[in-house]
């Protein structure tokens, strides 16, 4: 078969491909039109970040079987279009974890001992030892926010310095943390107890500005902060203010919200801030690792073997897909809804298939559920229907399935219970007809709604006027209600209200709903 390498990758990866029985063409710097004109000849494409495998490119790739990205992100590949054309997309999420972890540790040491500043001083002709008094890592507390692949590697290295390591990650079990040898803590404890804080989380709507003025104010005087994850997770203006006041003694940033940062960026003026130009994966070894890894996967796919790090769903027979496709969509939406409302550290997932659904092939549905549950907060992990079970297992999340051909109220019923260290939630759904997805139970309360668009899920005491007060509040803010469903077990007891809204709900309005008398909680969900 024919393989096109359209971006520069390490020669070891190219050699791996050339050692196979396949024909390899290396042509980097192709213009879009030229790539489209030749891509139809090839069975596999290897890219880094320069080549854009757009919808038009993929549509022209009539023989394409696999696209490999020598790196983690696949922003330059239209994965949905590739899936529609039966093209497998693979990447290399493991290849740069050591490089990123080592850079974090390098910044940790450089910041604590003020090495860049001392180096610059000596080279300018000064000899001022007293000016660069540092702090030791020994027995200090480091808070690791995010315990994925990179966060786990940073934790292992911090333990080698005999630091006290506390970690926050709601998608990690206590058993997994115990294996790492670290102590799980909630986010508040990370802020209040850490001498050093290092960030290793993806950029999502929930993690944007995760560390801002309020969070920094709660940190210890003299704290040090490192961000090697994504720009925007740390509020850079708030950090600059804290560096100015001395509340934050030192900062080390490898990423910025705007890259490259402008010359007048406030962080750049501080001597106690160390900055690097997004070097997380910039090692010779990481570049070799990702090139060799993606080459191996390309060859696996071309020779009929499964890929280790597939980004999209592998092809299934048309008959199986036609049968389970509506339940795949329903399962993913129920998982995503759980991700929006759960509290605490995720420990277990229990899936029940009832009625006619129990007679179907349910393994792909379980994978869709786990994808919906894990993907919203683990975006850098590349969660998909292939690797979701392995990610859940790696994080110590127990997944169980049960089947029963009996179902009291529905022909088929899909039920998902998610258990955390703070309690549990359960959501059930079904199909009305062949394509109409419906949510029918939330935490045991009966509802009847389509899992689509913007929704407010609220728990409250069943009492006169509650529905009216919520409706009036939304109406006063020009937010239209498209549908409302209220479930309760008995009069005056706890109730669940699910509202479909046509317009975005600003955070202040959502907070006003939460403050209503008798309201327990309210969350905005987008499906």
pLDDT of 151 reads 94
Residue spans in the chain of domains classed CATH 3.30.70.260:
453-527
Q: Which of 267, 445, 407, 418 is nearest to 342 (CA)?
A: 418
Q: Which of 425, 438, 439 is nearest to 373 (CA)?
A: 425
Beta bridge partners of 224: 196, 250
Return the half-sphere exposure (C-beta side, CA atoms, 13 A cut-off) of residue 274: 27
Is 3.30.750.24 the CATH classification of the domain at 453-527? no
Rounded Cα distance between 276 and 283, Å, is 14
pLDDT of 381 reads 66
Superfamily of domain 2-94+285-302: NAD(P)-binding Rossmann-like Domain (3.40.50.720)
Dump pLDDT digits (tens) for 296-322: 999 999 998 878 888 886 545 556 667
Q: Are 468 and 458 in contact (CB under 8 A)?
A: no
Q: Which of 33, 259, 408, 490 is catalytic?
A: 259
Q: Which of 278, 469, 485, 523 is catalytic?
A: 278
The residues, ordered by sequence, that sit 6+ positions from 98 with a Cβ below 8 Å of its Cβ are 153, 285, 286
The secondary element (H helix, E strand) that includes residue 476 is helix 466-476
Q: Are 6 and 54 in contact (CB under 8 A)?
A: no
Beta bridge partners of 486: 497
The CATH number for 97-275, chosen from 2.40.30.260, 3.30.70.270, 3.40.50.720, 3.40.50.300, is 3.40.50.720
> Is 278 known to be catalytic?
yes
Rounded Cα distance between 320 and 325, Å, is 8
- Locate tokens 């493991």: which residue? 94
Residue spans in the chain of domains classed CATH 3.30.1330.90:
316-451
Beta bridge partners of 495: 460, 488
**Helix, coil or strand: residue 166:** strand
Name the region of 510 (left: φ>0; alpha: ψ -120 to 50; beta: rest): alpha
Q: Residue 78 is encoded by which pair of tokens? A: 């239209």
Would you call the peptide bond into 239 cis, given omega within 30 degrees of 0 as the criterion? no
> Is 230 known to be catalytic?
yes
Q: Which of 48, 114, 224, 230 is catalytic?
A: 230
**Model's pTM, two decimal places?**
0.73
> Is 200 known to be catalytic?
no
Our CA angle for 74, 315, 328, nearest 5°, is 85
pLDDT of 340 reads 83
Q: How far is CA 237 from CA 197, 211, 216, 400, 444, in A?
A: 17, 11, 12, 45, 45
The CATH number for 316-451, chosen from 3.40.50.12780, 3.30.1330.90, 3.40.50.1970, 3.40.50.300, is 3.30.1330.90
pLDDT along the chain (527 residues), means of 10: 96 96 95 96 94 96 94 83 85 88 98 96 95 96 94 97 96 89 95 97 85 97 96 96 97 94 96 95 92 95 84 63 86 91 87 92 90 81 74 90 87 93 89 85 84 86 85 88 79 81 87 87 84
Query: Distance from first CA to last CA of the chain, Å, rounded?
Result: 41
Return the half-sphere exposure (C-beta side, CA atoms, 13 A cut-off) of residue 317: 4
Residue spans in the chain of domains classed CATH 3.40.50.720:
2-94+285-302, 97-275
Rounded Cα distance between 246 and 226, Å, is 16
- Locate tokens 């093209």: which residue? 87
């Amino acid at each position: 078969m024919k393989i096109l390498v359209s971006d520069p990758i390490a020669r070891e990866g190219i050699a791996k491909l050339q050692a196979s029985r396949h024909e390899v063409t290396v042509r980097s710097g192709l213009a879009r039109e030229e790539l489209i004109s030749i891509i139809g000849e090839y069975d596999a494409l290897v890219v880094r970040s320069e080549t854009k495998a757009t919808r038009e490119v993929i549509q022209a790739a009539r023989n394409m079987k696999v696209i490999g990205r020598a790196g983690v992100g696949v922003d330059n590949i239209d994965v949905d279009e590739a899936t529609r054309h039966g093209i497998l997309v693979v990447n290399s999420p493991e290849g740069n974890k050591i490089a990123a972890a080592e850079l974090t540790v390098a910044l940790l040491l450089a910041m604590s001992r003020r090495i860049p500043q001392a180096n610059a001083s000596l080279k300018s002709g000064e000899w001022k030892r007293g000016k660069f008094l540092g702090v030791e890592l020994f027995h200090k507390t480091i808070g690791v926010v995010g315990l994925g692949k990179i966060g786990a590697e940073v934790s292992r290295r911090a333990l080698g310095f005999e630091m006290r390591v506390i970690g926050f990650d709601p998608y990690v079990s206590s058993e997994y943390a115990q294996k790492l040898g670290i102590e799980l803590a909630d986010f508040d404890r990370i802020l209040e107890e850490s001498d050093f804080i290092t960030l290793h989380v993806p950029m999502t709507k929930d993690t944007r500005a995760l560390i801002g003025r309020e969070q920094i104010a709660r940190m210890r005087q003299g704290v040090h902060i490192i961000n090697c994850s994504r720009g925007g997770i740390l509020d850079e203006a708030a950090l600059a203010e804290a560096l100015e006041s001395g509340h934050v003694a030192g900062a080390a940033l490898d990423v910025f919200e705007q890259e490259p940062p402008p010359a007048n960026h406030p962080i750049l003026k501080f001597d106690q801030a160390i900055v690097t130009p997004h070097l997380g994966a910039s090692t010779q070894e990481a570049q070799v690792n990702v090139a060799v890894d993606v080459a191996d996967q390309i060859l696996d796919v071309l020779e009929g073997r499964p890929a280790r790090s597939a980004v999209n769903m592998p092809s299934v027979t048309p008959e199986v897909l036609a049968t389970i496709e509506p339940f795949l969509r329903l399962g993913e939406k129920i998982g995503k809804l759980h991700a929006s409302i759960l509290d605490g550290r995720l420990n277990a997932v229990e899936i029940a298939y009832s009625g006619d659904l129990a007679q179907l092939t349910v393994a792909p549905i379980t994978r869709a559920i786990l994808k919906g549950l894990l993907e919203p907060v683990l975006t850098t992990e590349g969660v998909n229907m292939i690797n979701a079970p392995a990610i859940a297992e790696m994080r110590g999340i127990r997944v169980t399935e049960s089947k029963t051909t009996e179902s009291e109220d529905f022909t088929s019923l899909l039920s998902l219970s998610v258990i955390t260290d703070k309690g549990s939630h359960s959501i059930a759904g079904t199909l009305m007809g062949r394509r109409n997805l419906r949510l029918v139970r939330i935490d045991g309360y009966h509802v009847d709604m389509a899992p689509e668009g913007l929704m407010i899920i609220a728990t409250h005491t069943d009492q006169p006027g509650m529905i009216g007060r919520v409706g009036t509040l939304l109406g006063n803010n020009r937010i239209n209600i498209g549908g409302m469903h209220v479930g309760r077990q008995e009069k005056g007891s706890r109730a669940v209200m699910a509202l479909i809204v046509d317009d975005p709900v600003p955070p202040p309005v959502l907070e006003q709903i939460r403050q209503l008398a008798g309201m327990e909680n309210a969350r905005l969900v987008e499906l």
